[in-house]
Chain A
């Protein structure tokens, strides 16, 4: 430890002198400053990137929720670090999970419903990121990428109860995995079109002419309606055509400088936050380079065992034992840990928002799902679980909203996310957490 001390002024300057978009956008990620000069992206529609961002023990109830709902709310006290990104994110308050008569095990039940939509972590179920990856992650080098800042290989991402996707706890090793010898620059890669898309395209073309006769004997207004259908059919065809061509170069892709130092693996929060910064930058670069479209980041485990340097009081023990300060209205030490969460998440967003792509940023085409295990950490309740989505999902999400959904199951957000990334899903969750109601107000 620690990274920051090793970063020299010379390195910072060199990065800035490179004049790249990245160096401006990622002022804190000095070690990843690009040494290449990169052109801006051409502005073509880039695909959605989906990520989860998890931290145990939530936020401080009463201090993270904005006071008003809808648009133009004032950022809450604890989420003040997110203020610069207010227009690019949504905050969801009041949501809960339903235990369906099963005892609540706060640290397991919360993530189980946020990620699986199921209180019991039924073995057959895949996590939400896996469902999304099935839909959008098939044609990238990595179906999904999992990282953890808590030093362990644990992750909440899984294909099923028996196949989980392990996290990489080391940023240095993670760098090697993405940008090591196996990395090929997407801007120069060979391209081989997918045979499945080829046959879909050929089937579509062969039936199109035949279908046109359907409207022949209709009246004028019906014919106009069918005309719209055929226009849509042609759009679908041209989309498939696009998929058969070599993709547009990813102008915003650049290879970050190799990480040389990282925080100590473990539960000291200061070290974990160093690694979080490294991971945030690496994930942003990996997404910008088209290496993956799905990622999972865990800042801490559920039931966070973070502690501060030199203290043996863990965050979790504090939530149970620390008294509530009567003046402040919260548990001061617990509040501190929870505020670090807000800071860290803000950093994550700055990493994604710092990569410019044409008129927008990587964050604009991303959708980052912030979830946690408890609502009121002191009581370990599973009501009013803080949830956030950041990014506009390539225009599919409306942002800048605080949505108060008191008593609604958290699965509504999971369903909304799946629909926002374009999945054909009508309902999600099991038992009392099953829902068919996405937040239509945020779906564009």
Chain B
């Protein structure tokens, strides 16, 4: 990959707010020294969620059942006696509600539910070994539409593919949405498009995540033409403003660790930026939810909006186990409190995974997916110029697998 300066004042062109003594000046000077005059706009990601397309009837078998129902279903499937199931469910009701179950009963219920996998007749942990819980074949999306891209290149001929409701691109691969789209907590409502589990995660994690910085560089961003798009990890978290929106116009230092530098050739047309060819997308996220995104054959489209912000879709193939553990790490809480069927999700992801088969087992290791991205204007400066210190990113270099 070529390494161009991927940082700059987004107001470089106007120059009226250019810095004098600050470190950012170094950036501007280095840019100004380049022979070709280019314009760069930089942004910080302000919203990142599963790109779920809301549509009545795209779960023909209905939404997935509530917690109590799928617990009973799974216990019956492993052959638990009806009386015992009743005892477990009664104790569970008493355990999640204070005081009505003895501690022993509550522990019995928790054990029965958490260890509801079976291997050789012995109980196994349902979240660590979800494959040992019988596959309940949870309900999945059956529809024409889903956000995303034609990742496998097969176009409309691709089996099980969707059509993007905005671009009308055919052959869209988004099996991740298919797998989890019929979970109630993953479905946005018309009132409140932001009420999904992914939105919940973003809302609560945004101020502790590393900020993601996007830059768009071209000869003249007010005109159609070739542009370069970068994604980098910042050294800082985002700040939020008084309305809990990511604060615009803050300055971020770019982590020089090359693993989090993504660079794409793209085309700007009518304010829409589309990457030219599939590439990889790697970015650090949250250790509890999804530690790291690593999309292969990634595609990107971004709209430059009149208010100065960006809005778009990122698609690619992600390791489905990484997505599974976002749910599994919540364990019994994901099931009991949020109504998400964790082993059921596991089976669906595994079944619908559609790329990169393991050479030994033949099992697909990745699943097609699409994420919604929004970003607001921000400043970006290189770490070294900002602090004069050696990059902190170096300490991660040993932990890479």
Contacts and interface: CB of A to CB of B under 8 A. Distances in A.
Do A and B touch, yes or no (CB under 8 Å, in the complex)?
A: yes
Interface of A: 96, 99-106, 150-152, 169, 265-268, 301, 305-307, 312, 314, 316-317, 320-321, 323-324, 326, 329, 378-381, 383, 406-407
Contact of A380 (B66, B204, B242): B204
Interface in B174-209: 184-185, 189-192, 194-195, 199-200, 203-205, 207-208
A98 B93 CA distance: 35
B337 A316 contact: yes
Interface stretch (B16-24, B94-102, B270-278, B362-370): B94-102
Contacts of B192: 324, 378
B130 to A, nearest CB: 21
Contacts of B195: 324, 378-379
Contact of B68 (A305, A312, A316, A380): A312
Contacts of A317: 67, 336-339
B99 A381 contact: no
Contact of B99 (A101, A151, A307): A151
B243 interface: yes
A268 B191 CA distance: 31
B237 interface: yes
Contact of B98 (A104, A151, A312): A151
Contacts of B81: none
B205 to A, nearest CB: 6
Nearest to A406: B242
A14 B282 CA distance: 77
A410 to B, nearest CB: 14
A403 to B, nearest CB: 16
Given A324-B192, A380-B200, A104 B207 contact: yes
Contact of B93 (A106, A312, A380): A312
Given A101-B208, A103-B204, A267 B99 contact: yes
B203 A381 contact: yes
Nearest to B207: A99
Contact of A96 (B66, B98, B244): B244
Contacts of A100: 207
Contacts of A381: 203, 244
Contacts of A329: 191
A105 B67 CA distance: 22
Contact of B200 (A305, A323, A379): A379
Chain A interface secondary structure, helix, strand, loop or mixed?
A: loop
Contacts, number: 90
Contacts of A379: 194-195, 199-200, 203
B98 A301 contact: yes
A321 B339 contact: yes
A99 B208 CA distance: 9
A150 B97 CA distance: 9
Given A96-B244, A104-B204, A106-B204, A321 B184 contact: yes
Contact of A102 (B185, B194, B208): B208
B6 to A, nearest CB: 25
Contacts of B94: 266
Nearest to A150: B98
Nearest to A307: B97
Contact of A383 (B190, B244, B337): B244
8 contacts: A99-B208, A100-B207, A150-B98, A317-B338, A321-B184, A321-B338, A321-B339, A379-B199
A378 B208 CA distance: 21
A244 to B, nearest CB: 47
A314 B286 CA distance: 29
Contacts of B191: 324, 326, 329
Given A103-B286, A321-B339, 20 more contacts: A103-B208, A106-B204, A151-B98, A265-B99, A266-B94, A267-B97, A301-B98, A305-B98, A306-B97, A312-B93, A317-B67, A320-B337, A321-B66, A324-B189, A324-B191, A324-B192, A326-B189, A379-B195, A379-B200, A380-B203
Given A106-B204, A321-B185, A380-B204, A101 B237 contact: yes
Interface string B73-111: 000000000000000000001101111100000000000
A67 B207 CA distance: 31
Interface in B153-179: none
A151 to B, nearest CB: 4
> Which 4 pairs from chain A and chain B are nearest by CB?
A407-B242, A267-B97, A151-B99, A266-B99
